[in-house]
Amino acid sequence: MAYYYNEVSRTFSEYLLIPNLTRRDCVPNNIRLTTPLIKFKKGERSPLVLNVPFVSAMMQAVSNDTLAISLAKCGGVSFIYCSQSIIEQVEMIKRVKKFKAGFVVSDANLTSEHTLRDVLKLKEKIGYSTIAITEDGSPQKKLMGLVTTRDYRISRDHLGKKVKEFMTPFSKLIVGKEGISLSEANDIIWEHKLNCLPIIDNNQNLMYLVFRKDYDEHKKNPNELLDSGKRFVVGAGINTRDYAERVPELVKAGVDVLCVDSSDGFSEWQKDTIEYVKEKYSDKVKVGGGNVVDKEGFMYLVEAGADFVKVGIGGGSICITREQKGIGRGQASAVIEVAKARDEYYEKTGIYVPLCSDGGIVHDYHAVLALAMGANFIMMGRYFARFDESPAKKVKIGNNYVKEYWGEGSNRARNWQRYDMGEDGKLHFEEGVESYVPYAGRLQDNLAASLSKIKSTMCSCGANSIKELQRTARITLVSSTSIIEGGAHDVILKENNY
């Protein structure tokens, strides 16, 4: 006989938070939004912690390298989509890892016998202008000099001019020695008004480059999420079909964390994928699983070795899985049940498995509800698709700018691997739609506004951290009429014409 859940499947919009006492220390500047991304043992700290509880969805319209860089600057993580070739996904990961670092291994090198033409060609390819000149043109060989845009003038120097004729030679460079700290390197940069400081070993071999712009960026973005090498943290989606070919290349590229991209994670294919990653690469990369909506699904993925579990089926703004297949659950109900299972597992084993709430976020306060109900961080697609940094095209419709937004289960994305049923490789019907979202500008500006609302809500709840919020939050169900009462009503709104 079928099993029946007697409780109604509920969404975030059916709940409100009841205020707790706002203490004097409960002010926005004191709110800590750090949260664990991957599992850890009782008494220990998670090896990977987010500075803000947001990650971007593994979608073609959302998570490319540009958005990954912007979100990492703000303290979150992007999971770069896997519905593209392995080579393309790997290149995106590499661009994120190379964009900012304390000590950068130079991958843009020439010899002194190359020409200005070679310099311009390489500059166009890599997108930045500082080029190390080494003995044989390979990284970490004897440093002969540096070339920047200050060393040549395209209007006067002929393209065949040899690099040795215009480079800044080693004898005129200020350099640091291997073993120097990042703080000491930055002091040298400021003292000598440099843009770049080469770091060499005792044999004059180039080891690293340290850039002034990295220091400036860090000061502007104190919440930056960096790895042990001071590079941005970045995630990647993987699927249950080509993981044996895709994962090794992503690991080589330096990816920090993986997530199996699937609409329904309660499957043997996902178990196989997670077990492969844990067996082959557990010391190099972590992997999350999902999506699930109940205790059984959560336990299945945890026992397979998942480092975090993603919760939610059918709640995304462009997702029509519930409509097409009748599969899913209200996001609030799903998070509540899975969080309870997670806490029981923690009490039993001493292992804490973070939860990612994926879908169902309409308003910023829904994020606070998801966190209060037990989620550790939130994955969003529509929210991030609106910004300049997303890969989707910006178009004008009427008098308004919008950005294109499409689901991975739409005919446009054709990400059949996400909906893999273990047979032929094709999408038999759509589980996502194509749409537009209102264009919203820069990620950093919008995220700052959202975080401000979230911190204000947490202050009203008397919680200075996500952990405290989960321990002390009081949550109430609301009626449809109380939802209407919560907005502007029984008034004639003014139109602002200024």
Q: What is the pLDDT of residues 94-112, one digit of tens each?
A: 999 988 667 888 878 999 9
Lowest mean pLDDT among 48-62, 130-144, 346-360, 453-467: 130-144
| Mean pLDDT (whole number) for 250-273 | 95
| Mean pLDDT (whole number) for 2-30 | 94
| Mean pLDDT (whole number) for 167-180 | 92
Q: Check residue 496 and give its pLDDT.
A: 65
| Mean pLDDT (whole number) for 312-331 | 82
Q: Check residue 322 and give its pLDDT.
A: 76
pLDDT range class, residue 425, cuts 50, 70, 90: low
Q: Who's near 284: CB < 8 A, 6+ residues apart?
A: 251
Q: In this model, does residue 382 exceed pLDDT 80?
A: yes
Instruction: Give the separation between CA 422 and CA 270, rounded to whole angstroms.
Output: 11
| Mean pLDDT (whole number) for 122-148 | 88
Q: Check residue 204 and give its pLDDT.
A: 94
Q: List own/partner pairs for 486-493 with CB under 8 A and 24 or more apart.
A: 486/16
| Mean pLDDT (whole number) for 253-265 | 94
User: What average pLDDT is seen over the chain?
Assistant: 91
Taking the whole predicted model, whether its pTM rises above 0.75 is answered as: yes
- DSSP 3-state assignment of 49? strand
Q: Check residue 448 and give its pLDDT.
A: 95
Q: Check residue 413 and give its pLDDT.
A: 55
Question: Cβ-count burial of 417 within 10 angstroms (0-12 exposed, 13-18 middle, 19+ buried)?
Answer: buried
Q: In this model, does residue 331 exceed pLDDT 90?
A: yes
Q: Check residue 155 and give its pLDDT.
A: 85
| Mean pLDDT (whole number) for 461-486 | 91
Higher per-residue confidence, 180 vs 247: 247
> Would you state the torsion angle of the CA atoms of residues 266, 272, 277, 282, taken in this order, to the nearest 10 degrees?
80
Instruction: Give the separation between CA 42 and CA 366, rounded to whole angstroms.
Output: 29
Higher per-residue confidence, 25 vs 123: 25
CB burial string 427-460: b at 16+ within 10 A, e below: beebbbbebbbebbeebbebbeebbeebbbbbbe
Could you confirm whether 26 is annotated as catalytic? no
Dihedral over Cα of 290, 292, 298, 304: its sign:
negative
pLDDT range class, residue 27, cuts 50, 70, 90: very high
347-351, 394-398, 434-438: which has the highest mean pLDDT? Answer: 347-351
**pLDDT tens, residue by residue, 273-316:** 999 999 999 999 999 998 999 999 999 999 999 999 999 998 87
| Mean pLDDT (whole number) for 394-405 | 91
Backbone angles phi, psi at 37, to 5 degrees: -95, -35
Lowest mean pLDDT among 68-72, 315-319, 379-383: 315-319
Helix or strand (DSSP H, E) at 270: helix 268-281
- DSSP 3-state assignment of 130? coil
- DSSP 3-state assignment of 269? helix
Q: Check residue 221 and give its pLDDT.
A: 86
Q: Check residue 321 and give its pLDDT.
A: 73
Q: Who's near 162: CB < 8 A, 6+ residues apart?
A: 112, 113, 114, 115
* Catalytic residue of the set 319, 356, 459, 461: 319
Higher per-residue confidence, 193 vs 308: 308
* Catalytic residue of the set 329, 342, 418, 459: 418
Could you confirm whether 442 is annotated as catalytic? no
Q: Cis omega (within 30 of 0) on the bond before 399?
A: no
